[in-house]
Amino acid sequence: MTQTPCLHPHGDIIDGYWLCGRCYEKLPERPVKYSKGNRAISVNGAEYFHQIPIYAKIRKASNGWSLSKFVEAMVRRLIAKADFEKSDAISYAIDLLKIQGIEFGSGDYAWDTVAAWDIIYDDMQYWDRDAGGNQ
Ligand SMILES: [Zn+2]
């Protein structure tokens, strides 16, 4: 199966970097494309066009939640349920989102606290077994 590479069209700023809301890759900077403007500036006889930056969108789910708010809800749950450091909890939450593979904001999914907790809850089913079978 061939997949087109993700262009990271939307996401949110989390913990100082950009998290793509489609593939959940961490990027050091918010993605930006430059669009050529209509107005030219003439400098020493050469024409330059304005470069209009078009930043990747901070996408909101239909309930108004941003990706950072959703990750935050997951992180709070992880810290409440396990002895996570915050930065570890963020990485863990992002890994879970990657595994889920659902694009942030897609309509057939409720992007709210319950959904965030459900992801953690589903994952917790495996925690005890991973830790040596003490259920
Ligand atoms: Zn992406």
Instruction: Please tell me the pTM assigned to this model.
Output: 0.83
Ranges of each domain in the chain: 10-130
Percent of the chain exceeding pLDDT 90 equals 70
Res. 134: pLDDT tops 60: no
Task: Write the secondary structure of 32-95 as one string of H (helix), E (strand) and C (coil).
Answer: EEEEEEEEEEEECCEEEEEEEEEECEECECCCCCEHHHHHHHHHHHHHHHCCCCHHHHHHHHHH
Split at pLDDT 50, 70, 90, the class of 76 is very high
Ligand 1 centroid distance, CA of 87 (Å):
21
Amino acid letter at 16? G
Alpha-carbon dihedral angle through residues 114, 119, 121, 124, given to the nearest 10 degrees: -160
In tens, the pLDDT along 44-67 reads 888 888 888 999 999 999 999 999
| Of 95 and 4, more confident | 95
Ligand 1 centroid distance, CA of 9 (Å):
7
Ligand 1 centroid distance, CA of 31 (Å):
10
- Strands 46-55 vs 57-58: parallel, antiparallel or unpaired: unpaired
In tens, the pLDDT along 90-119 reads 999 999 999 999 999 998 889 999 999 999
Please give all residues whose CB falls under 5 A of ion ligand 1, grouped by chain where several chains appear.
6, 8, 20, 22-23
Length of the chain, in residues: 135
Average pLDDT of the chain, as a whole number: 90
Ligand 1 centroid distance, CA of 8 (Å):
3
Ligand 1 centroid distance, CA of 27 (Å):
9
